[in-house]
Amino acid sequence: MAPKLMNAIQYFGYGGGVAALKRVKVAVPDPKADEVLLKVEAASLNAFDWKIQEGIPRPILPRKFPYIPGTDVAGEVVQAGSSVKKFKVGDKVLALFSHATGGALAEYAVAKENIAVARPPELSVPEGAGLPLAALTAHLALTHAGIKFDGSGERKNILITAASGGVGHYAVHMEKLGNTHVTATCGARNLEFVKGLGADAVLDYKTSEGASLKSPSGKKYDYVIHCAMGIPWATFEPNLSATGKVIDLTPGLGAMMTFAMQKLTFSKKQLVPLILSPKLENFEYVVNLAKERKIKTVIDSKHPWSKAEDAWSRIMSGHATGKIIIEL
């Protein structure tokens, strides 16, 4: 049975980085009828977590302050809501929370039954915790690109930017399950790492060749899975096939304006903003891929609960290779 109070990390307004994170004691949440209460075993951080703190999606997110950040959790069920059928007390679970409510950086958290998945024993706690947001985002982007993960379908030429990051490394793994030629960008220190994930060609984004995004194969890209920020449409456009698409995973105001203008002008080359709308069947699918070792969670670093602030600093640095895990 859960105690009445728990340790959690909150922030109380926009900005401030690590210094604004406060360790607090708050009430353990009560699960609603369709929710389970989890004792958190590990949480993973995503780049969007610190962007919420910095106010990039304001005023939409967060829904209210104070806010417990984090959306990705591996935990154990300690209480099940009255209508929950899939889980029972003691089950090991992976869960994805809404960015509106957060909740991962705490000893206990509630998860909706319809976006939680049993953690297979083949996956360690940290491996499982890394999956929810990043792997689901990669899967959704590749599905939009028409990738068939059984290797069938017309061969596509694909670019992945920021391929060594949380979403990027899953995207490379998943794309190689399809009929694709993959070019990837990353920093110099991760070139061999990304090649090892299965990329056919890797570009150092700080070189002139990498900055231009031109494929070493000389072929134009059918799709770009754009996991980075700050690359203008003018850089992508000459590298795209006649109907090439850039699927932007971190769309800002400029991207939305480009998208709207292309729609108005009926452009065949398009920037497509991607907003994750998670579905249980997709979550189950990527967890099964990880169980079968068709994709793998690469862990950048693991941090004990007592050093969670170090994990936050690491995600803010933008230099993580794979996933950042906080263990409770």
Quickly count: other Cβ atoms within 10 Å of residue 115's Cβ: 17
- How far lies 172's CA from each of 32, 50, 164, 322, in Å? 38, 24, 9, 12
Return the structure tokens found at 321. 């290779």
Instruction: Report which of 249, 304, 278 is spatially closest to residue 97, judged by C-alpha positions.
Output: 278
Read off the pLDDT of residues 102-161 as tens digits, 9 standing for 90 and up.
Answer: 999 999 999 999 999 999 999 999 999 999 999 999 999 999 999 999 998 889 999 999
Under CATH, which architecture does the 5-119+298-327 domain have? Alpha-Beta Complex (3.90)
* DSSP alpha helix (H) spans, the chain: 47-53, 125-130, 132-144, 166-175, 191-197, 208-212, 233-236, 253-264, 280-291, 308-317
- The residue behind tokens 């150092």 is 204
CATH number of 134-273: 3.40.50.720
Q: Is 134-273 in the same CATH topology as 5-119+298-327?
A: no
Where does the pLDDT of residue 1 fall: very low under 50, low under 70, confident under 90, or very high at 90 and above?
low
Return the structure tokens found at 24. 């607090």
State yes or no: pLDDT of 200 exceeds 90: yes
- The residue behind tokens 């050093």 is 307
Read off the pLDDT of residues 52-106 as tens digits, 9 standing for 90 and up.
Answer: 999 988 888 898 999 999 999 999 999 999 999 999 999 999 999 999 999 999 9
Each domain of the chain, given as residue ranges in start order, spans: 5-119+298-327, 134-273
Read off the pLDDT of residues 123-137 as tens digits, 9 standing for 90 and up.
Answer: 999 999 999 999 999
Average pLDDT, the chain: 94
Return the structure tokens found at 311. 């994990």
Return the structure tokens found at 67. 């806010």
Read off the pLDDT of residues 205-238 as tens digits, 9 standing for 90 and up.
Answer: 999 999 999 999 999 999 999 999 889 999 999 9
- How far lies 131's CA from each of 81, 124, 126, 257, 325, in Å? 24, 11, 9, 31, 11
